[in-house]
Amino acid sequence: LVSCTKRTKTPKSELAVCRYVLLLAELEAHQDAWPFLRPVKLKSVPGYKKIIKKPMDFFTIKEKLINNMYLNQENFVIDVNLVFDNCQKFNEDDSEIGRAGHRMKRFFDKRWTELLH
């Protein structure tokens, strides 16, 4: 009889983690990813610390992935969307970083949908 205790992660969640790692690698490789690759330097970007309550970036997401901190897929998507929501909040749509954020969000939404089907 196969033991029913969950000694290891269920294969489903391992597949999900692979999907996140793949998708994150694609986000980081995107030509418009440069504003989002590392945490925004709060000392060198005036106003950012006050305006953005929950900073997030692709490097931080990768660390959370590696430390297995995304127990379900929602939290992964929530953090990725936080990167783009912060960007829209802090930057004019018609700015270098604002436009990069919109392009990255469109790219993510498309790939996320494709990977789910």
Ligand X SMILES: Cn1cc(C(=O)NCCCNC(=O)c2ccc(F)cc2)ccc1=O
Q: Which residues bind ligand X (CB under 6 A)?
A: 34-38, 40, 45, 87, 90-91, 97
| Residue in the shown chain whose Cβ atom is closest to ligand X | 35
Which one, 27 or 35, has the nearer CB to ligand X? 35
Distance of alpha carbon 66 from alpha carbon 49, whole angstroms:
26
Query: Min. distance of Cβ 98 from ligand X in angstroms?
Result: 8
Which one, 35 or 70, has the nearer CB to ligand X? 35
Query: Min. distance of Cβ 4 from ligand X in angstroms?
Result: 46
Distance of alpha carbon 20 from alpha carbon 14, whole angstroms:
10
Q: Which residue has the tokens 């029913």?
A: 4
DSSP tag of 67:
T
Which one, 25 or 37, has the nearer CB to ligand X? 37
Query: Min. distance of Cβ 37 from ligand X in angstroms?
Result: 4
Which one, 9 or 38, has the nearer CB to ligand X? 38
- Amino acid (one-letter) located at 86: N
Distance of alpha carbon 87 from alpha carbon 100, whole angstroms:
9
CB 56 within 8 A of CB 86: yes
